Structure 1
């Protein structure tokens, strides 16, 4: 009887260990980016993102960004390049979670950009965890722009990934912009 109980307990522990290993393997697989055919990958220690081969990557840190990905110039009169950029903010000591960061960001966006309209503001989830998606319109200098922005707060850091397009080009670039945004993986 004792032997049967020991065998049952050992089998239960082994089963739990296998289930845990399978869950960990599945979680890691979710974090691995699925390679998009014909696209380039910016693969860094803490993140990866994919983008079309005719777009340009810039990691010079312009305007405090971690990187910028820029669409090709289409003509001599094309003076705005649709783009995707990442801003990482250190939130250490500021006690922000995603909800409080979203509240803070909404106020900051409205004050700094003079947002004309906020067309989407919703909570979503992907392999990186819960994130907030904003879509809003604002004018900057002579440009009428649409911003599609994903925000995560993880381990005292805010990750703000933004696709920016001229308003009259948004529908044309939206699909590729969202594909780039959705290829972003935090490691």
Structure 2
């Protein structure tokens, strides 16, 4: 009897994990990078707010008034001669001075597949929203690549996992 119950529980867990893996993901391929995102997220490549793209989550309910999102901004640094360390220093100062109630929670250097980037998590206000951001900074070929997850602060823990899956799927293409 115990074995039957354990087998049943084991089969249920397997079916749940298999079903959970059936979500479709899209792949955005550009000249110098790729990124994957869930099929139900909307891709906006209009260049809005200077972005390369914005990925918008679906609204979670009729009362939801904010689409959590991920965007990429690429800044030309050729006139400034900045490395990643200096870029991080400038960016952290801007978070503290330009973002209303900007507060850095963590800032750490990460090495993924031989590529170094800075991961910064911070909070701040924008209009009526208390937001939480998770940003990844790379400096490559005199350009800064800033990949940002933006969530309502109260929703961040619910979007952290899927957001980091998207952020971590970002890869530079080698030419």
**What TM-score comes out, normalization by structure 1 length?**
0.78
How far off its partner does 1:125 sit? 1.1
**What is the CA–CA distance in structure 2 between the aligned matches of 1:172 and 1:75, rounded to whole Å?**
14
Structure 1 contact 128–186 (Cα < 8 Å) conserved: no
Q: Which structure has the larger Rg over C-alpha atoms?
A: 1
**What is the CA–CA distance in structure 1 between the aligned matches of 2:75 and 2:126, rounded to whole Å?**
23
* Pairing 1:109–2:95 present: yes
Per-residue CA shift, 1:67-90, capped at 9, x if unaligned?
000000222221100000000000
Q: Tell me how many residue pairs correspond in the alignment.
A: 152
* Pairing 1:88–2:74 present: yes
- Closer, same or farther: CA 145–80 of 1 in aligned 2, 3 Å: same
Out of 163, 167, 170, the position equivalent to 1:181 is: 167
**What is the CA–CA distance in structure 1 between the aligned matches of 2:138 and 2:148, rounded to whole Å?**
12
What is the DSSP-based 3-state SS (H/G/I as helix, E as strand, rest coil) of the residue aligned with 2:162? helix
**What is the CA–CA distance in structure 2 between the aligned matches of 1:136 and 1:128, rounded to whole Å?**
25
- Closer, same or farther: CA 116–94 of 1 in aligned 2, 3 Å: closer
Structure number with the higher strand fraction is 2
Unaligned runs of 5+ in 2: 1-21
**What is the CA–CA distance in structure 1 between the aligned matches of 2:124 and 2:104, rounded to whole Å?**
9
**What TM-score comes out, normalization by structure 2 length?**
0.83
* Pairing 1:123–2:109 present: yes
**What is the CA–CA distance in structure 2 between the aligned matches of 1:126 and 1:172, rounded to whole Å?**
24
How far off its partner does 1:118 sit? 1.0
Q: CA RMSD in A?
A: 1.4
* Pairing 1:63–2:49 present: yes
What is the DSSP-based 3-state SS (H/G/I as helix, E as strand, rest coil) of the residue aligned with 1:109? helix
Superposition misfits of 4+ residues, deviation over 2 angstroms? 114-117
* Match of residue 15 from structure 2: none
**What is the CA–CA distance in structure 2 between the aligned matches of 1:126 and 1:181, rounded to whole Å?**
12
How far off its partner does 1:127 sit? 3.1
Unaligned runs of 5+ in 1: 1-35
